[in-house]
Amino acid sequence: MPPTYVMRPSRLDDLGALMDLARQSGPGFTSLPVDEAILHERLEKSERAFHSRQKRIEYGKYLLMMEDTGTGEVVGCSAVKAGTGIDQPFFNYRVITLAQASHAAGDMRFDMDALILTNEYVGYTEVGTLFLQSGHRGGGAGRLAAQSRYLLMAAAPDRFSEHVLAELRGVVDETGKSPFWECLGRHFFRMDFTEADRLSATTDNQFILDLMPKYPIYVDLLPPEAREVIGRCHSDGVGAYKLLQWEGFQFDRTVDIFDGGPLVAAQKRHIRTIQESRVVTLRAGDVSGRTDALQGLVSSDALPNFRVSLADVVVEEDDVAIISPAIIEALQLDPGAKARIWLRSK
């Protein structure tokens, strides 16, 4: 039997598992630094967010852990930050096009791209920190980790912004070297990419405002190896990028200031999982082998004990959904309870 996974709120006793995921995530994965103190703080913030003990709703940072229900092992994670740029600046480069023209030079005209430093995503909700152990990828696990974040937004819409963004890791090699950083950032920060990445994860980012150039940087003046990776994501993030595009996220020519990775954004109400999900009443039953069963996701649709699992679902009249008793148990619900489902089309 394939493993049954459930996404659940992180707990303080997940620290060891979260450290293991951080070590496996590799260089450039800013949201999972290999730093026990930082990860412990994130677990504390997540617990406060799920139990609504943060000072303001938009400060909430929700961390979800993927658990193999058969073994109890944590094999992945994903997260939602309710509001970016509120407690610290969220700097990025926007790629703008400058039109150049001269009548004196024989009506010559051409366009040039330039990078300008911006902090324009203040208040956006951010989805990220999606990482699965290599042995647990495929079979719908990636979709579960990704889509559970949008089902969380659907469960408590007032806690999240109407605008949602995602930042994808840019091109970084196995040694932790970023061609974008080597050709641009290093000249202004005089430090390695890994050190800048660490400071970004552990400080209030004032160092970026202090050291980053304040004037436009012409892309054509950068070496080819830097130009080629602007707006490109890491090879390990291609699947996540495709899922974001499927949800309706679009690249709007904004990139990370360290590795040049793309930022994508969408309006919350247009996110596909949210649009296509609905609330049903659960009924326990055996749906294996039924031709009218659809694959999908089922969530408890409530905080603080928010849980999501993959399931085969048969929907009957009056919005009654039949799923296996094991899934209902994994969601810590009872037959007759309300839940939210998203079903994959045939």
Of 296, 329, 337, 261, which Cα lies nearest the Cα of 143? 296
Q: Residue 204: exposed, middle, or buried by beta-carbon count in 10 A (0-12, 13-18, 19+)?
A: exposed
Instruction: Report CA torsion sign: 247, 66, 199, 26.
Output: negative
Provide the 10 A C-beta neighbour count for residue 54. 17
The span from the CA of 259 to the CA of 168, in Å, is 10
Strand partners, 218: 114
- Give the C-alpha distances (Å, rounded to integers) separating 173 from 71, 154, 217: 33, 37, 24
SS3 state of residue 23: helix
Omega cis (within 30) before 213: no
Contact 186, 212 (CB under 8 A): no
The span from the CA of 39 to the CA of 299, in Å, is 26
Contact 57, 158 (CB under 8 A): yes
Q: Mark whether 234 is an active-site residue.
A: yes
3-state DSSP helix/strand/coil % of the chain, to nearest 5: 35, 30, 35
Catalytic residue of the set 40, 51, 163, 234: 234
Torsion angle of C-alpha atoms 151, 157, 162, 163, degrees rounded to 10: -40
Extract the tokens encoding 182: 């080597």
Which residue numbers are catalytic? 234
